[in-house]
Structure 1
């Protein structure tokens, strides 16, 4: 059976800080969850493997597809490196309240402690309420001792860097960088396939039973990159009808594509799958000379590596994130 552009059933996650924008903005109105905080669009995480929801392969999960199609699905070089494990986790996140302050370990530390990959990620802001902020990194030079003292004294916020955000804001979050998504922010998250998170501080919140969420103070202290950066936000200038690179790292490349005309895509030399996350508008993917797949705002689609030529047809002005591995 030949491959084609694949959609997957979103895996929705109820979160204490979640809201309603996944339903109202990104059209995931099928959600039964009262506080849908995350929509895992494409996942190879054990226990949460995405399942195809369109075409002849509907009902097959991502792991089964990789086992059958191997490099034809993900690209030969990707398959050689990652084997049966899909290397990226693709999400939409709706923060109706501030998330916990957290950090993720790098590959070496994560393998040592959890026999897993580390977690480098990026954020692209789809919508942000007026005055919304993210926490990214430190606002001054900090060492481990200073950090632990501030944490113990309840003054951690004194040394954290707050970033005001708006639609289109982009941040790269390498493993080791302290971060938190603020209240009123809807964003796309692209990350390594890993669910290893060290929670540093959770604003003294409790669940409906009065229990606080677990903190990982000691684990986090050894995972944090304490370096201070003068600039944390990714600066870019997007142009119409062309891809603009937002992030390029060993784990993924993400482009922003703002287009209102048809675009021919030839990815023979890329040797990787491509993922499109639709931020605004609607478009069609034309492939195999005649077949077409409609993609709407809030939907995500995976283009197999073997589908080396296709055409994107926008329905008016359309904005997407384009994700692959170089």
Structure 2
């Protein structure tokens, strides 16, 4: 089998809060003025990624997993997740503030939606001056305090607002109330799940003039009401090295800033490898082929690969494995 580095057609999502940066900066094939998300790797129902390069072009990611589960994903990944791709990879452009929201944990998501929970991380690729995120509460609150703030329209006063800059990285565990603010462009790595409980949306209306649905009652048991300063990720940026960013049960993410060719021995890596290019460009190669990658593009390397060669004069990459 010839499992060369795979690229996929982006799955573009219009969002009320979206803009044009995914097209303008990354060249995504959007014709909309409100493209908020580019799903780079997905097996979410009705949004399954399709290969765009080489002899496997037009094949779906799910077809490849079903045909080559261990070869593509790795035995340990198949043992844990079967033939379901366990993570969802996105680029997000927030021209306006996203809604204030929360994601359920695995147990709650399984009980209510027969789904995984939604643990995620963000890498800030670009931020307008003054751009910020909402991450958690600014003090411990009770469920009663929280409900009262919704009634009084004072929820924002209870939330922590964090200014952001390029390179900042955040880990958003389940239960943490959060939102991406206007002017932020980021890479997102998350569990395969599309379960979001929207709790406040600034009273905005969609293009039909309707208020978007809120999930007030569903969110009550999902929210962690404690103030926790556990969201910002500190990581090394040593050049030409593999720098650990996040190592959680659902994914592992490393930061690579390279200005010369770099080889990674994956002989004992029982997992697929994903590279998201967050700056510059590189040529990614395994035993079966190579693919060019530029800022805003993603590639999937099969677990059966014995080594990965990165040919570059300058690139910043997020390396994602299980």
Q: Does 1:296 align with 2:289?
A: no
1:311 and 1:266 map into 2 onto residues whose CA distance is: 9
SS at match of 1:195: coil
Q: Can you give the 5+ residue segments of structure 2 that lack an aligned partner in the other structure?
A: none
2:8 and 2:66 map into 1 onto residues whose CA distance is: 17
1:231 and 1:50 map into 2 onto residues whose CA distance is: 32
SS at match of 1:321: strand
SS at match of 2:234: coil
Q: Does 1:278 align with 2:262?
A: no
Matches within 5 A, 1:73-88: 73-88=72-87
Equivalent residue in structure 1 for 2:310, among 309, 312, 318: 312
1:287 and 1:270 map into 2 onto residues whose CA distance is: 14
Q: Report the count of equivalent residues.
A: 322
Q: Does 1:24 align with 2:24?
A: yes
1:25 and 1:243 map into 2 onto residues whose CA distance is: 26
C-alpha distance after superposition, 1:113-154 (max 9, x if no partner): 001110000000000000000000011111211111111111
Q: Calculate the TM-score normalised by the size of structure 1.
A: 0.97
Tell me the equivalent position of 1:91: 90
- The offset of 1:231, in angstroms, is 4.7
1:252 and 1:310 map into 2 onto residues whose CA distance is: 19
2:229 and 2:76 map into 1 onto residues whose CA distance is: 35
Q: Does 1:62 align with 2:61?
A: yes
1:292 and 1:300 map into 2 onto residues whose CA distance is: 13
Do 1:27 and 1:297's aligned partners in 2 also have CA atoms closer than 8 Å? no
1:286 and 1:63 map into 2 onto residues whose CA distance is: 23
C-alpha distance after superposition, 1:253-284 (max 9, x if no partner): 11111001111111121200010001111111
- The offset of 1:226, in angstroms, is 1.3
- State the superposition RMSD in angstroms: 1.1
